[in-house]
């Protein structure tokens, strides 16, 4: 014997009353019946979310077309059109509909209404192999994303690229196109230099002193570090998208040129003194014996 419960939610798509559910007798059936009755009561109070949960519990215990159809009605009322379409497809595939042609007709009509109300967004993504996630769920086909009416977040992800995000708002039955271009992930450089006053340049642009962090386009990156009194240092890197290159570097004190060195000038002074002494000796050796100015040599008797 079956117990028949009516879900008086309103008129069905075909114009008749809402659908009833035949639940077999038994322990499990009694629990399913209890949840079904709760769903009916909550629906009459327009507590749609609570009613949906009650019908879903009933269906988990005993999967019947009437329960599935009531679930689809509530999903539609709550704006969950994609889920309602799936529920209706499952309902129409149930063999029990062979004995309930009116219920099957109403399910088919509701399926057509729900399908027409689902919004669709065609998304063009660069790079084209990027994965698309819609409200946290991977999209089956980014070129044809089916959405319930309302607000949604689309996220695209691809290797070596920064995530792209797109917030969209769609109306029931809307058909729209959107595009999303992902930027390459930047390369990064982290430098810690001693002395801290040393200036760091990346691609000939000053980025800071001592400890610096830089990020920019990947590819060829030239780093130069300099400070007065120290030898400058240069690093040339080829950085991939997202790559981090870090280095700790201590500059070496610059060596003075030879003409500025103390030992050079000390040596030069010594050479100058020695040269002066030698010149004096040579002058003395070449002077006339009498030291006179006429060059005449006087002799005694």
Please count the CA atoms within 13 angstroms of the CA of 52 that sit on its side-chain side.
Answer: 16
Residue by residue, pLDDT tens for the chain (301 residues) are: 233 333 434 444 443 334 555 545 566 888 999 999 999 999 999 999 999 999 999 999 999 999 999 999 999 999 999 999 999 999 999 999 999 999 999 999 999 999 999 999 999 999 999 999 999 999 989 889 999 999 999 999 999 999 999 999 999 999 999 999 999 999 999 999 999 999 999 999 999 999 999 999 999 999 999 999 999 999 999 999 999 999 999 999 988 665 555 544 555 555 555 555 454 444 444 445 554 444 433 344 4
Domains and CATH numbers, the chain: 2-117 (1.25.40.10), 119-181 (2.60.40.1120), 187-250 (2.60.40.1120)
Task: Give me the DSSP letters along 106-141.
Answer: HHHHHHHHHHHH-EEEEEEEESTT-EEEETTEE-S-
Residue 217 has a pLDDT of: 93
Residue 5 has a pLDDT of: 37
Residues 6+ apart with CB under 8 A from 2: 22, 23, 24, 25
Residue 36 has a pLDDT of: 94
Residue pair 64/21 in contact (Cβ under 8 Å)? The answer is yes
Residue 30 has a pLDDT of: 87
The span from the CA of 54 to the CA of 71, in Å, is 9
For the segment 211-243, what is each residue's pLDDT rounded down to a tens digit? 999 999 999 999 999 999 999 999 999 999 999
Sign of CA dihedral 72, 76, 77, 79: positive
Residue 24 has a pLDDT of: 52
Question: What is the model's pTM?
Answer: 0.66
Residue indicated by tokens 């079956």: 2
Residue pair 38/55 in contact (Cβ under 8 Å)? The answer is no
The span from the CA of 296 to the CA of 284, in Å, is 18
Count of other CB atoms within 10 angstroms of residue 140: 11
Residue indicated by tokens 């690229």: 161
Task: Give me the DSSP letters along 149-180.
Answer: SEEEEEEEE-TTB--EEEEEEE-TT-EEEEEE
Residue 287 has a pLDDT of: 47
Q: Cα–chain-centroid distance for residue 34?
A: 48
Element (H, E) at 223: strand 219-226
Residue 283 has a pLDDT of: 46
């Amino acid at each position: 014997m079956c117990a028949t419960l009516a879900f008086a939610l309103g008129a069905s798509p075909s114009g008749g009353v809402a659908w009833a559910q035949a639940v077999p007798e038994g322990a499990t059936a009694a629990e399913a019946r209890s949840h079904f009755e709760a769903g009916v009561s909550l629906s009459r109070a327009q507590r749609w979310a609570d009613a949906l949960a009650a019908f879903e519990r009933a269906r988990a215990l005993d999967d019947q077309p009437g329960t599935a159809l009531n679930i689809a009605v509530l999903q539609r009322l709550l704006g969950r059109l994609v889920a309602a379409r799936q529920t209706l497809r499952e309902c129409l595939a149930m063999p029990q509909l062979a004995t309930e042609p009116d219920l099957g007709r109403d399910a088919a009509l509701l399926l057509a209404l729900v399908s027409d109300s689902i919004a669709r967004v065609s998304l063009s993504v660069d790079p084209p192999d990027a994965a698309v996630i819609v409200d946290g769920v991977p999209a089956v086909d980014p070129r044809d994303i089916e959405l319930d009416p309302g607000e949604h977040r689309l996220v695209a992800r691809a290797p070596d690229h920064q995530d792209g995000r797109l917030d969209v708002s769609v109306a029931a039955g809307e058909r729209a196109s959107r595009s999303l271009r992902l930027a390459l992930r930047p390369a990064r450089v982290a430098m810690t230099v001693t002395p801290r006053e040393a200036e760091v340049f990346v691609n000939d642009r000053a980025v800071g002193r001592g400890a610096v962090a830089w990020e920019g386009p990947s590819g060829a990156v030239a780093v130069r570090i300099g400070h007065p009194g120290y030898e400058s240092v240069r690093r040339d890197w080829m950085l991939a998208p997202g790559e981090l290159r870090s280095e700790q570097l201590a500059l070496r004190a610059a060596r003075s040129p030879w003409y500025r060195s103390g030992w050079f000038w000390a040596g030069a002074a010594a050479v100058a003194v020695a040269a002066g002494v030698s010149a004096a000796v040579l002058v003395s050796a070449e002077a006339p014996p009498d030291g006179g100015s006429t060059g005449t040599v006087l002799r005694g008797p």
